[in-house]
Amino acid sequence: MANETTGAVTSATEAAAGHATEAATAAGHTAEAAGHAAGSAGMPQLDVSTFGNQIFWLLVALVLIYLILSKIALPRIGSVLANRHGTIAKDIAAAEELKAKAQEAEKAYNQALVDARNEANRIIAATKAEIQAELNVATAKADAEIAAKAAESEVRINEIRAGAMAAVSQVAQDTAGEIVGALGGTADPAAIVQAVTERLKG
Amino acid sequence: MATEGQSEGLAFHPLDQFQVKPLFGDGPIEWYTVTNATLWMGIAILAIILIFVVGTAGRSIIPSRIQSIAEVIYSFIHKMVEDIAGHDGVKYFPYIFTLFCFIGFSNFLGLLPKSFTTTSHIAVTAVLAVMVFLTVTILGFVKNGPAFLKLFWVTSAPLALRPVLAVIELISYFVRPVSHSIRLAGNVMAGHAVIKVFAAFAPLVLMSGIGYVVTPLSILAITAMYGLEVLVALIQAYVFTILTCVYLKDALHPGH
Amino acid sequence: MEGSISQLGQYLGAGLACVGMAGAAVGVGNVAGNFLNGALRNPSAAAGQTATLFIGMAFAEALGIFSFLVALLLLFAV
């Protein structure tokens, strides 16, 4: 429809231009006949003898440009632009999707982090309790050993003390008998024992 | 041509750059003669092929530099057509895109030194504007039938004023192609002529002492004007296209 | 130096026609200034109105271009 109309217009204009061309050439001839004096000084734009030429070549140029643009260039650029719009829309949708995925992944990551932290805390607490229990056991064992050792030592010390006491009274009796003998007396061992015992009791 | 006649003075020929000359030989310009206008229209077509066909040959998702230029222009015009002419105007997008590309590339190629600016000629812009005018008018009647005439009957105005407004609207409707074409050609031609006038002052340094002041100033002025012209080249292509869209909207929805 | 009265008229007329461009300058400045005024009050709505801005500027500028064209016609085409 549009093309028909435009075509009709173009042909109409061409027809008009054809008439104009004839008229213009006729006018040009008369102008030439009239003389060159006005032609050289006047405006080139008003030189009617060139109008036909310009209009003819203008129409040729316009038809060529119209054909080139409407047949080749404009559909091509239009399809490229439409393609690009499609691609951009698709890319944006894909980006949205990726973004949602990324957010999901971030959420999962955070969840995993929280889980891991809880797990770690739990393990720490358990280990601590275990260590504490072992420690308690070891402490108790050590305490028992220490107590046993201490009791043993006590016994030994008492023995040693008793032995030492016995030795001390023996040594004292012997010493007292020797001292009495050295002083020239004879000592009744029983009396010495009694005396030493009494002194030792003090 | 200027120097031999008046070698002692400055040569002002701001309009010589717009002359249509045959490329080969020196004969009269027939309608089929290959002229400099033909050459620069051909270069515009080549540039359009280079950017929109060769540049986009990769069809890559991540565009190359040239492909992104093509895509930026495409999206810009597509959005303009959609915003102004509405959804049913998108059908005419290739037509409007053709206009924008031809005008834009011609304007920018015309800024190259020694080039010929095809859009500075009333003949060229008038054809473009008349094509738009005819398209829009025919389209309006085909799509809406006689209801298209409601465009001239301003229902929001008081009843007494409506006939007067209708006459004004009718006149402004038929002035559209005139202003549409003269705006483009006039802007381009004015800018180029002004640059040429400033350029004519530049050789003053070879002739008199005051040239030491004037020549740097004129070169500075050329540079500034050139910057402005780059802007104008783009804006005029934009304005031509956007007005085409506005007229197209009038044809498709004449009610408002 | 033997220029005729009609040539004098051409040049005077061209100069006077260029005065019309001042009107276009005022008009374009008015459009841009008012746009900026509104845009600074409501920056969020400004982006959608740049097309209108350019259309308004184009209409205002076209009339200045007409006067420039009249000047050129007087200089070169009469």
> Could you say which residues of chain C have pLDDT below 70?
1-2
Whole-complex ipTM: 0.87
- Report which of residues C49 and A125 the model is more confident about: A125
Across the interface, whether the CB atoms of B127 and A83 are under 8 A apart is answered no
pLDDT tens readout for residues A50-59: 898 999 999 9
Under an 8 A CB cutoff, do C55 and B179 touch?
Answer: no
C65 and B239 in contact by Cβ < 8 A?
no
Share of chain A above pLDDT 90, in %: 50
CB pairs under 8 A between B and C: 38
In a domain, A136, yes or no: no
The string of pLDDT tens digits covering residues A102-124 is 999 999 999 999 999 999 999 99
Q: Within an 8 Å CB–CB cutoff, is residue B190 touching chain C?
A: yes
Residue A135 lies in a domain: no
Q: What pLDDT, on a 0 to 100 scale, did the predictor assign at position C2?
A: 62
Q: Give the domain range for residue A184.
A: 159-201
HEC sequence for B12-56 = CCCCHHHCCCECCCCCCCCCCCCEHHHHHHHHHHHHHHHHHHHCC
Helices and strands per DSSP (H, E), number in chain A: 5, 0
Q: Does A41 touch chain C (CB under 8 A)?
A: yes
What end-to-end distance do the CA atoms of chain C give, in Å?
A: 19
Residue A81 has pLDDT above 80, yes or no: yes
Report the CATH superfamily, name and number, of domain C21-77: F1F0 ATP synthase subunit C (1.20.20.10)
pLDDT in the model for residue A185: 76
Residue pair B36/B20 in contact (Cβ under 8 Å)? The answer is yes
Closest alpha carbon within chain B to A58: B124
Contact B91 A84 (CB under 8 A): no
Are the C-beta atoms of B16 and B199 separated by less than 8 Å? no
Question: CA-based diameter of chain A, in Å?
Answer: 197
Q: From B246, which residue of chain C is nearest by alpha-carbon distance?
A: C55
pLDDT for position A18: 46
Q: Which residue of A has its CA nearest to C74?
A: A42
Query: Is residue A129 included in any domain, yes or no?
Result: no
Q: Of chain B residues 73-112, which have a CB less than 8 A from chain A? A: 74-75, 91-95, 97-98, 101-102
| Amino acid A33: pLDDT | 36
pLDDT digit string, tens, across residues B32-83: 888 999 999 999 999 999 999 998 888 888 888 899 999 999 999 999 999 9
**Phi, psi dihedral angles at B35 (to 5 degrees):** -110, 180
CB contact residues (below 8 A), chain B span 156-215, against chain A: 185, 189
Task: For residue A142, tell me if it sits in a domain.
Answer: no
Report CA B20 to chain centroid distance, whole Å. Answer: 18
Which among B33, B56, B97 has CB closest to A76?
B56
B135: closest CA of chain C, how far (Å): 20
- Is residue A25 a part of any domain in this protein? yes
Instruction: Determine the distance in angstroms separating the CA of B106 from the nearest CA of chain A, rounded to an integer.
Output: 11
Residue A12 is predicted with a pLDDT of: 45
- Say what the pLDDT of residue B60 is: 83
Instruction: For chain C, say whether A78 makes contact (Cβ under 8 Å).
Output: no
Residue A106 in 3-state DSSP?
helix
Name which residue leads in pLDDT, B109 or A17: B109
Q: Is B240 on the interface with A (CB under 8 A)?
A: no
Alpha-carbon span B18 to B2, nearest angstrom = 16
Out of A6, A16, A54, closest to residue B123 by CB:
A54
**Domain ends where: A68, A89, A120?**
A120
Q: CA of A96 to nearest chain B CA: how many angstroms apart?
A: 21
Interface test with B, best of A21, A80, A87 (most B CBs within 10 A): A80
Q: A80 with A179, same domain?
A: no
Q: Which residues pair with B35 in a beta bridge?
A: B22
B chain contacts of residue C62, beta-carbon cutoff 8 Å:
179, 182-183, 186
For residue A28, what pLDDT is reported? Answer: 42
Regions of chain B with pLDDT less than 70: 1-9, 255-256
* Residue A144 lies inside a defined structural domain of this protein: no
User: What does the pLDDT read at residue A2?
Assistant: 42
With contact defined as 3+ CB pairs under 8 Å, the chains touching B are A, C
Could you tell me which chain B residue has the CA closest to the CA of A61? B41
Q: What is the pLDDT of residue B256?
A: 58
The answer as to whether A112 is a domain residue is yes
Q: Which percentage of chain A shows pLDDT scores above 70?
A: 79
pLDDT of residue B255: 67
Residue A202: the pLDDT is: 64
Q: Which residue has the higher pLDDT, B200 or A33?
A: B200
Arithmetic mean of pLDDT over chain A: 80
Residue among B37, B44, B40, B133 at smallest CA distance from A56 = B37
Q: What's the structural domain count of chain A?
A: 2
If asked whether residues A7 and A102 sit together in one domain, one would say yes
Chains that touch A (3 or more CB pairs under 8 A): B, C
Sequence-distant (≥ 6) Cβ neighbours of residue A196 within 8 angstroms: A169, A172, A173, A176
A-chain residues within 8 Å CB-CB of B142?
Answer: 5
Specify the DSSP class assigned to residue B157: S
Quick one: pLDDT at residue A16? 47
Q: What is the largest CA-CA distance in chain B?
A: 70
Lowest mean pLDDT among A19-28, A139-148, A162-171: A19-28
Of C51, C65, C72, which has the smallest distance from its Cβ to B183's Cβ?
Answer: C65
